Amino acid sequence: MKVWSQLTKDELQLLIKSGKTTAVLPVGSVEQHGAHLSLGYDSFIAERLAMDLAMELEAILIPSFQYGSADHHLGFVGTLSLSEQTFIAVLNNLAKSIAASGIRNLIIVNGHGGNYGPISRFISAWDDTSLKVITDSEQRLIFRAITDLGASFPPAKLGLHGGLFETSLALHTHPESVRQDQIRPGLLPQSGDAWTDDEIKELICKGLIESTDSGVIGDPTGSTHELGQQFYQILYRGYLELCRNFV
C-alpha cells in the first residue's frame, strides 16, 4: 500500500503516470465518546477502513482529515468541532489539491455520522469533472449497518453514539481505545427499543449535553471483539461494493 505522505513528489508522480489514479481519504472527528471510548475513535475507524480499501483497490492512501462537524457534542470536554462552512471549505480545498496532482478518483471514507450532511453539500457543489468524488453520503453506511443489524440487536442498545455498535467496533479495530472498566449504559429511548427520527433530530438540535450526562446514546455493555469483527465486515463490504461500482 502506498501512503501519500510517505512518498516523494517524484515517486507520487511516477505512480500516477503508471495508472494509480485512485486515492482514499479518511474523514473522521475528534469528539467525546463517554468515559469508555477515546475522543478520536471516529477518525480511527475511518483510517482503518480507508487502509483496507486502499490495499484492496491498490489505491493511494491520503493522510486523514481528523476534524469533523460535531457541534452537537460541544459542552463535553475534548470535542473539537469545525463549523459546517469550514468543514466543506477544507474538503473542497483538499479535493482541488488532490485533483491538481493528477488523481482521477477520490474515495472519501467517513467515520462520523455528523459529517454526512456536510459531505452531501460538498458533493452537490463539486464541479471539477477531472476528479470523480465517491462517498457514501447517500447510502450512509454507518446508519445502514445499524439498521440492518436491528433484526438481531435492539437498535437502542446498538446506539447512536458510544453504544454496542461503536464500542464493539473499537474492541475489534483499536482495543487500546476502550476503557472497559468504564463501560456503562447510556441514554435509551423512553419507550420502545428504537429512537424515532423526531427524537434523533431533537437530540442533535439541542446538543447531547442537554439530554445525557454520560454523552453515550445506547448501551455498550456486552460489547466484544467478536461482535466488532462482524460489524466491521458489514461496513467494509458496504464500502467495497460502493467503490467497485465506480473504480
Q: Please report the pLDDT score of residue 195 as a whole number.
A: 84
Question: Which residues, other chains included, contact 245 with Cβ-Cβ below 8 Å and sequence gap of 6+?
Answer: none
DSSP-based three-state secondary structure for 63: coil
| Cα 13 from Cα 56, distance rounded (Å) | 21
Position 101, amino acid: S
Q: Please state which architecture CATH assigns to domain 2-244.
A: 3-Layer(aba) Sandwich (3.40)
Q: Please report the pLDDT score of residue 105 as a whole number.
A: 98
Q: Residue 230: CA atoms inside 13 Å, Cβ hemisphere, count?
A: 13
Q: Check residue 32 and report its DSSP letter.
A: -
What's the mean pLDDT in 26-33?
98
Contact 214, 187 (CB under 8 A): yes
Q: Please report the pLDDT score of residue 190 as a whole number.
A: 77
Q: pLDDT confidence of 230, banded at 50, 70, 90? A: very high
Look at the pTM and tell me if it is higher than 0.85.
Answer: yes
Provide the grid cell at 52.
483496507
Q: pLDDT confidence of 199, banded at 50, 70, 90? A: confident
| Cα 164 from Cα 147, distance rounded (Å) | 13
DSSP-based three-state secondary structure for 79: coil
Q: Please report the pLDDT score of residue 189 as a whole number.
A: 87
- Asked if the model's pLDDT at residue 216 lies above 90, the reply is yes
Contact 217, 208 (CB under 8 A): yes
Q: Measured on CA atoms in the order 152, 157, 160, 161, is the torsion positive or negative?
A: negative
Position 150, amino acid: G
pLDDT in tens, 37-85: 999 999 999 999 999 999 999 999 999 999 999 999 999 999 999 999 9
| Cα 2 from Cα 14, distance rounded (Å) | 12
Q: Please report the pLDDT score of residue 246 as a whole number.
A: 82
pLDDT in tens, 78-111: 999 999 999 999 999 999 999 999 999 999 999 9
Position 43, amino acid: S
- Phi, psi (degrees; rounded to nearest 5) at 106: -120, 120
